[in-house]
Structures are given as C-alpha cells and as structure tokens.
Amino acid sequence: MDMIKQRDAAVHDYIMKFGKWLHNSDAEPLALHKWAQVHDRFLNRWGIMTSNGFEVLNSVFRIARQLPVCAIVDKTFYKCVDWFVNRQEAAIGWEATRLDFSLNITLVLHRRNEKARKHDIRPMYYGHNNYEVIDKDGLLKTGVRGEVRYDVTFPPEGMPICVCRRPQLTGISCNHVLAVCFLRRLNPNDYVSPYYSLQNYINTWSGRFNGFGNKWDWSLYNGPIIRPNSDKVNKGRRKHK
C-alpha cells in the first residue's frame, strides 16, 4: 500500500475505501482483509481471490438462471446431488490408493516437488531454521527468467514462512519450502494444512439427500402467497446499480 501511495496518492485513497459499508465514513475502520488476500490475517480464504464464494457458481448455472424459479430450484438441487455423489465416489477411490490428500492437491505437490529438486539451498542460521533458496529459473519483476532468491523460515510451530507467501495464504507448501524439506529429510506432508487432508475431503462430500417425491404426495401449503409488486415489474433486462 505504501508503494501505491508513493506512485499515486489519489489511487491509494480510492482503494483504501473498499471493504467499508459506507465508503466515505471516517468513523468506520478500514477493511482491507475483505478484499486484499495479503491482509487475510486469519487465513480464512485459502487462496480464494474473491470474498464472495457464490460468484464462482454463476458460470455453473448460466443456463439454469434463464429458467422459471421452480426449474432453477430443481436444477440446483440435482446439480448438488451429482457433486456429492461423484466426489464422494472419487474420494473413496483415492483412499484405496492411500493418498494423503485429494488428487488435485497431490498433483500440485508433485509439480512443486519436481521444481524443488532443481533449487539450491543455503542454510543461513540453523538455530532459527532460516534458509536461502535459490531458484535459477525464477520469474523476475521484468518478466524474464533468471536467478531469484527466497527466504524460508521454519518456525517451531505452524506453517513454514516463505517470502512468496504461498504457504501462509494457501496452507500448501511452495516449492521453496519443499526444497528445504529435501535438504533436511523432512516429510513434506507435515507442512500441508490438515484442511486439505483426504479425510476432510471425504467428510465434506459425505452428505445425503432425499428426493422431492411425487407432487401428489406433497403436503398442502398453507403459508402466505408472495407475489411481485406489479409496479416494479418491467420488461427487459434487470437494471443494476
């Protein structure tokens, strides 16, 4: 934020207002953690770049959104059922092959392991478990490939700390941390958050559903009947503010 302020104070003042309920309220504290992942102090977002998780479903239900309300409910319900059934079936298959994490996380770690083997590691201060990892094919700020150095620290507890911030923001070890694990002969799986464990994945998709049944078996609805205000129903696309 300080670098942005030095380049353009007006831009800095503009983006500092984001996350507030009332943008121009000086009494309301800044809420950078709501929109900037680097300010997520409690690591609740796990690498998700948007704070609104429902936004990612817009493309999934792009066709269903054009249908009547009852059809939208039907499509949404059975789409969720398919997710739970298929992903639980896949998780049980992964469990049979003795994977520690889901297939996606396992592939991520495999790619990072392959890259970590090419790094050079230099212990800086063993008592504090601090290392300098040299990536000879790193991405420089100029956009070209070259030698990049990363500072990696293994604290007594918790995730390792790397200047690339991937372990802190996602809970998954980066290739720089994995390189140190190879040097010290540590188990890299110990430095992946339990959030990604296969058992947690199985528990996430272990829910059960019951079908709607036949319409003639449904109980009669005796609640209020909600109708839209005819004065606010206009033709054309809904206007957004």
Residues 107 and 44 in one domain: no
Q: Which candidate, 226, 225, 234, 118, places its Cα nearest to that of 176? A: 118
Structural domain count, the chain = 2
In-domain check, residue 87: no
pLDDT in tens, 12-59: 888 887 777 777 778 888 777 777 776 776 666 777 766 666 777 777
Look at residue 26 in the predicted model and tell me its pLDDT.
Answer: 80
More confident site: 109 or 231: 109
In-domain check, residue 15: yes
Tell me which residue has tokens 């796990």. Answer: 46
Per-residue confidence band for 127, with pLDDT thresholds at 50, 70 and 90: low
Look at residue 132 in the predicted model and tell me its pLDDT.
Answer: 94
The whole-chain average pLDDT of the chain stands at 85
In-domain check, residue 201: no
More confident site: 45 or 10: 10
Question: How far apart, in whole angstroms, are the C-alpha atoms of residue 94 and residue 85?
Answer: 14
Question: How far apart, in whole angstroms, are the C-alpha atoms of residue 81 and residue 207?
Answer: 9
Look at residue 115 in the predicted model and tell me its pLDDT.
Answer: 93
Per-residue confidence band for 100, with pLDDT thresholds at 50, 70 and 90: very high
Tell me which residue has tokens 């991520």. Answer: 108
Look at residue 238 in the predicted model and tell me its pLDDT.
Answer: 66
Question: How far apart, in whole angstroms, are the C-alpha atoms of residue 160 and residue 11?
Answer: 34
pLDDT in tens, 205-224: 999 899 888 888 888 889 99
In-domain check, residue 235: no
Look at residue 63 in the predicted model and tell me its pLDDT.
Answer: 81
Q: What is the mean pLDDT of residues 145-156?
A: 90
- Domain holding 162, by residue range, is 100-193
Question: How far apart, in whole angstroms, are the C-alpha atoms of residue 135 and residue 131?
Answer: 13
Residues 46 and 105 in one domain: no
Question: How far apart, in whole angstroms, are the C-alpha atoms of residue 84 and residue 205?
Answer: 5
In-domain check, residue 151: yes
Percent of the chain with pLDDT over 70: 91
In-domain check, residue 58: no
Q: Which candidate, 101, 116, 86, 96, places its Cα nearest to that of 199? A: 101
In-domain check, residue 120: yes
Look at residue 133 in the predicted model and tell me its pLDDT.
Answer: 94
In-domain check, residue 90: no
Per-residue confidence band for 2, with pLDDT thresholds at 50, 70 and 90: confident
Residues 189 and 105 in one domain: yes
pLDDT in tens, 60-96: 888 888 888 888 889 989 999 999 999 999 999 999 9
Question: How far apart, in whole angstroms, are the C-alpha atoms of residue 226 and residue 97?
Answer: 52
The alpha carbon of 188 is separated from its chain's Cα centroid by a whole number of angstroms, namely 21
Long-range contacts of 86-90 (CB under 8 A, 24+ apart): 87/201, 87/205, 88/202, 88/205, 88/206
Residues 40 and 107 in one domain: no
Q: What is the mean pLDDT of residues 129-144?
A: 85
Residues 168 and 104 in one domain: yes
More confident site: 118 or 126: 118
